[in-house]
Structure 1
Amino acid sequence: MKIEVVYGNIVKQPDADALVNSANANLRLGSGVAGAIHTAAGPELEEFCKTIVPLAFGKAIITPGFKLPNPWVIHVRAASYINHDEPEQVLKDALESMLLVAKANGIRSLAMPAIGTGVFKFPPTLAAAITAEVLRRHSEQGGTLQWVRICVANPEMKSVYANALGTSAETHGI
């Protein structure tokens, strides 16, 4: 499986089968990634999500992409690093659930944000290490995913994720 870390807008990844939304429990339009995905997908996404909420901590669920160029959105729910007793485990569970949903739906490519590092206040180095660990384990187990693109908000975050994945290059395979 190829993994890329890019400095870029997650809703501008038309070649991905699915985008990953770092979601709240009610899968509603929010700030950051959730706001960008919901805005680009249109109001149909939020209406659809009303039928499948709430999303539990550490879980993932898939919806259509509606007006996005991507057929699917996988919504994951991490925990607040500050307000949750076991935020690292919840992030790990959310990422593993995301990968299981991708596999169950035959998704071959996905673009994801630096989950947990926004409003959930995860330290970027810790979130990147957990993400790298889960992606490596998944890659070793095989599956449908051919590539994952981690879309980050700034060059510093790109460096953090590239370091966690063991490379300074933008693209590499695991």
Structure 2
Amino acid sequence: MGAVSSQICNPFAAKKRYVVLMSGLSGAGKTSIQCRMKFGQFPEKICSYVSCIMEEIEFDAFGMTLIDIGASEKWRAQHVKQRHDAKILIYVVDCTDADRMEESRSELHQHLSEETMKGVKLLVLVSKREIPNGISDEMIIDRLKLRSIEDREWHMISTSAKTGMGISD
């Protein structure tokens, strides 16, 4: 919080910029969250075939280059430089997709094991919280084995791109 408040209090300070990678399984809500962050609204239509999106997003205290690398090895290989520059990995998991939670855990830990991701902070966004009967946050922590992650900071936020809940946190 100190870094954020010092940026707000000092109008002459340079605005910090971050390279942020976003990943998650197909259909997890990555593009919807990205649209909510960028435009402040839920997209009515999404082209699901788009596998990599890069957006410049500005906030009051900082700016970021958000790179949606999806879950494809092909796209990961094309973004080696951005992975070296990345400070944060946002991993999106769909709380309504219990059947693919093991696949999601495997994908997440694959990212974290990559040499270029050492020291990168992890933010897990649990998507689609507006839908009733989703998997609880505690169950997601267990199923993704987040407590086993000891080599970096991680945080988890429940979100809804549809309502905006958790997106600006």
Q: TM-score, length-normalised on structure 1?
A: 0.47
- Whichever of the two has the greater Rg, that structure is 2
